[in-house]
Structure 1
Amino acid sequence: MVNKTILDNGIRVVSEKIPSVHSVSIGIWVTSGSRHESLEVNGVTHFIEHLMFKGTQKRSSLDIARQIDAVGGVLNAFTGREYVCYYAKVLSTHLDMAVDLLADIFLNSKFDSDEIEKERKVILQEINMLEDTPDDFIHDLYCQNFWKEHPLGRPIVGTEASVESLTRDFLLAHKSGTYCADNIIIAAAGNVEHEALIRLVANLFETLGPCKSKETTNQPSHGNGVLHCEKDLEQLHLCLGTRALPQNHIRRYESYILNAVLGGSMSSRLFQEVREKQGLAYSIYSYIASHSDSGSLVVYAGTGQERMDEVIEIILREMRRLKVDPLTAEELSSAKEQLKGNILLSLESSDNRMSKLAKNEVYFGRYQSLKDIMSGFDLVTADSVQELSCELFSESSLNLVLLGKPGLTLPSASSLAI
């Protein structure tokens, strides 16, 4: 059963009781991410996330680690483009401790000057590590090229220049301006009673007030183009993509099936053709990155530089095919069952259920039941997938990003015809 309560100060609390499990996962979500940052302070949300584990008024960073380890629990956080989340997973008997620990980190972190400088070095190393991992780095390059000057295109971790510029005063001011009641969702799933959860969090978070001003960003725009970033690598890494739908779009189920058929699994068209039949790549897949008002569908492949043209042509051919030929009944049914199965299997863990609760609140403002989701897939037809393919696969929004050795002969944007 899912319950939702809005506290007096506007904080939303959602929970789902799962009596069959021993654990409970609880997360504090703030609906402000890297897309709400200016260019000069890109990475501030991620920097704050790191600092929240470096000590509070009553707990050192070692105390925090020892307390969660002592009960076999998990304590962590992650930053996205539209939110940041701090979460804990513990046995249900330790929920009181987990809530107190999360609240202490969230409300009372000290932001010690020495810790800020140490963590700044850690984040600069994280940036370097990302740039040394080409099959990760290329996705940031793709976002930069696809979203152009929009904040969605900037790296979540920031740049060396922006991270170096962040002062303690600015970090505290940014936290104060975004970690406020109407930006906060507290989500919990597992062996948890909703009323007991409300009693735990209400007093701890009652001091938080509303945001003084609400951060907004412009609707992102995108064009088409080809970008080659030179790096001395054994493989050529490429991302070829186009626009996709926002998180809450009415036709999102068609987009999920479209992605599953194109490159979203081992049985997908691209995996079978590029890897299994022709042996052109070890890794090839497609994915959808959806946001509140926009999205992108991206195909990634790592291949030999001399096979680039073949791989690109196969990707374009499969995109054209989705526009011209409706899915077979077998393909459509298989994609539906695959996605339904993935969702059901993912919800066997309390942490995934907690994330689902929070994301539903972020993007829909309400709970999306499994029955609603399964019905959404059932309503998809081969014709509706083909119609969406014709809309999304357009030269006007097609972007190609390549990461590899210098001297590459680039295809022109006009040659990427679908």
Structure 2
Amino acid sequence: MSFIIENFNNGIRLAYKKALNTRISHIGITFNTGSRDENKNQIGLAHILEHMLFKGTKKHNWNYILNSIEMVGGEMNAFTTKEKTCIYASLICDKTQLAIELLADISLNSVFPEIELEKEKKVIVDEIDMYADNPEEMIVDEFYENIFNNHSLGTNILGNKSNIVKYTRNDVVNFATKLFNYGQMVISYCGPIEIEEIKKLCKKYFENHKFEKNVLQRTKPNEIKTFNILKKTQNHQCHIIIGKKAYDMFDKKRTALMFLANILGGPALNSILNITLREKYGITYGVEAAYNYFSDTGLFYIQWTSDIVNLEKSIKIVKSELLKIISKPITEKQFEQYKTQFKGQLIMAEESNQGLMIMMGRSLLDFNDIETLDKVLSEIDEINTQTLQNIAIEILNPDNMSMLVYKPE
């Protein structure tokens, strides 16, 4: 069954897909607001807001919110990205109304109690400290900070401790107004309940809320010079990341670059860089190539670890593999095998109804439509070796990439 999109009078949209052979409903609310929508005096507020949505509404306190879904065997969670905020619930389909009512309440009627904010700021400070103990995550965020220098895409989603402890309830309330923007909020549902029932419930709990018609304003990042940064750390390993800006989400070459990143360092053990760095030389436990796209830019990067002795060797190997792809096209046989692999991974990923539900909300906000798997698979089929080669020449030249290295003292 295809996706169904419904438009409500107040600008909220519903993205629906019926899932067969399941007793679980997945419901999400996605806002087209994230950490890049903060100004310099608001860094970290998008993430604080995500936490505070669970801390009390006009009708319910935090205890009711935390227990209502969990006590029927379900789960509720949320996340903040650079451009989105999402809250979602998964639970047995008999309790679908409970989840829709609660998600509507916390999305539209949160009151952000001051006493809860003071407690939650301590929780977030602890989260920041926990993150600081994870160099694999830290190096990516620091790379973002340097690539998108002096731009909100470069700021850490968690914020920093000095800012977090200063924020007041008024700061949270003022930033929350960015969530409630006409046409910038999507309800997504994937489960066994029929569309008419889901539409009736969503209209009941969401349609009475009014939204302002504000234009979403985002500034494109400036170009920067490449950098090569070596940073001494207290870690046991070296952590290395190289990369550069890439295509935005609307670029026709987006799917091909996703494919190329998968060939280089996707999740499969037979990715090019895993074969060389791990299987051939035994240098690293893991290597990843990633491509993250946004509304007006993108970022391609490769990340791996090594010991100090093999640091320079690992960098040399990665750059050598990139130059090989640039100078010598992948054979047709390999190319078709990689296509089959990539399509198979995407088909398997759609088996997760929760992941599908989250994708539906994001896609509708980004593209004003829901990208079907068949459309993506068709785009992959249209890629040829020359297209991939041209993108490799444009993106993979190590001389045009920036690098950040964490090296143990």
Which residue identity lines up with residue 328 of structure 1 in the other structure?
Answer: T
The match for 1:283 among 279, 282, 286 is: 286
Which residue identity lines up with residue 296 of structure 1 in the other structure?
Answer: L
- Matched with 2:258 is 256
Matching of residue 228 in structure 1 with residue 227 in structure 2: no
Matching of residue 367 in structure 1 with residue 373 in structure 2: no
Which residue identity lines up with residue 235 of structure 1 in the other structure?
Answer: Q
Matching of residue 322 in structure 1 with residue 325 in structure 2: yes
CA distance in 2, matches of 1:246, 1:26: 28
Q: Secondary structure of 2:299's match?
A: strand
8 A contact 2:261–2:291 mirrored in 1: yes
Which residue identity lines up with residue 259 of structure 2 in the other structure?
Answer: I
Which residue identity lines up with residue 247 of structure 2 in the other structure?
Answer: L
- Matched with 1:411 is none
Which residue identity lines up with residue 367 of structure 2 in the other structure?
Answer: F
Which residue identity lines up with residue 274 of structure 2 in the other structure?
Answer: F
Matching of residue 15 in structure 1 with residue 16 in structure 2: yes
CA distance in 2, matches of 1:216, 1:227: 32
CA distance in 1, matches of 2:307, 2:355: 37
* Long gaps (5+) in structure 1: 407-418
CA RMSD of aligned residues (A): 1.6
CA 1:222–1:309: 2 relative to 1, 3 Å: farther
- Write the mapping of 1:44-55 to structure 2, written as runs, cut at 5 A: 44-55=45-56
8 A contact 2:249–2:294 mirrored in 1: yes
CA distance in 2, matches of 1:62, 1:131: 30
CA distance in 2, matches of 1:7, 1:390: 46
Q: Secondary structure of 1:165's match?
A: coil
Q: Secondary structure of 1:28's match?
A: strand
Q: CA deviation at 1:157?
A: 0.7
Q: Secondary structure of 1:282's match?
A: coil
Which is further off, 54-63 or 65-74?
54-63
8 A contact 1:182–1:211 mirrored in 2: no
Which residue identity lines up with residue 323 of structure 1 in the other structure?
Answer: I
Q: Secondary structure of 1:401's match?
A: strand
- Matched with 1:59 is 60
Which residue identity lines up with residue 270 of structure 2 in the other structure?
Answer: S
CA distance in 2, matches of 1:254, 1:180: 33
Structure 1 runs of 4+ aligned residues shifted over 6 Å read: none
- Matched with 1:243 is 245
8 A contact 1:270–1:284 mirrored in 2: yes
CA 1:367–1:177: 2 relative to 1, 3 Å: closer
CA distance in 1, matches of 2:313, 2:107: 51
- The CA deviation string for residues 23-59 of structure 1, in whole angstroms up to 9 with x for no partner, is 1111010001001111221111100110111222332
CA distance in 1, matches of 2:28, 2:103: 8
Q: CA deviation at 1:321?
A: 1.3
- Matched with 1:96 is 97
8 A contact 1:240–1:400 mirrored in 2: yes
Matching of residue 404 in structure 1 with residue 407 in structure 2: yes
Matching of residue 139 in structure 1 with residue 121 in structure 2: no
Q: Secondary structure of 1:77's match?
A: strand
- Matched with 2:5 is 4
- The CA deviation string for residues 161-214 of structure 1, in whole angstroms up to 9 with x for no partner, is 221232111211211232233220111112132222221112322343333533
Q: Secondary structure of 2:64's match?
A: helix
8 A contact 1:29–1:185 mirrored in 2: yes
CA distance in 1, matches of 2:157, 2:223: 19
- The CA deviation string for residues 50-90 of structure 1, in whole angstroms up to 9 with x for no partner, is 01112223322222222112221110100000000010111
* Long gaps (5+) in structure 2: none
CA distance in 2, matches of 1:107, 1:65: 17
Q: Secondary structure of 2:165's match?
A: helix
Q: Secondary structure of 2:177's match?
A: helix
8 A contact 1:181–1:208 mirrored in 2: no
CA distance in 1, matches of 2:101, 2:38: 29
Q: CA deviation at 1:239?
A: 0.6
8 A contact 2:188–2:357 mirrored in 1: yes
The match for 1:332 among 335, 354, 357 is: 335
Which residue identity lines up with residue 351 of structure 2 in the other structure?
Answer: E
- Matched with 1:173 is 174
- Write the mapping of 1:115-194 to structure 2, written as runs, cut at 5 A: 115-194=116-195
Q: CA deviation at 1:397?
A: 4.5
Q: Secondary structure of 2:285's match?
A: strand
8 A contact 1:145–1:399 mirrored in 2: no
Which residue identity lines up with residue 261 of structure 1 in the other structure?
Answer: I
Q: CA deviation at 1:124?
A: 0.9
TM-score when scaled to structure 1? Answer: 0.93
Identity, % of aligned positions: 28
Which residue identity lines up with residue 219 of structure 1 in the other structure?
Answer: K
CA 1:387–1:397: 2 relative to 1, 3 Å: same
- Matched with 1:302 is 305
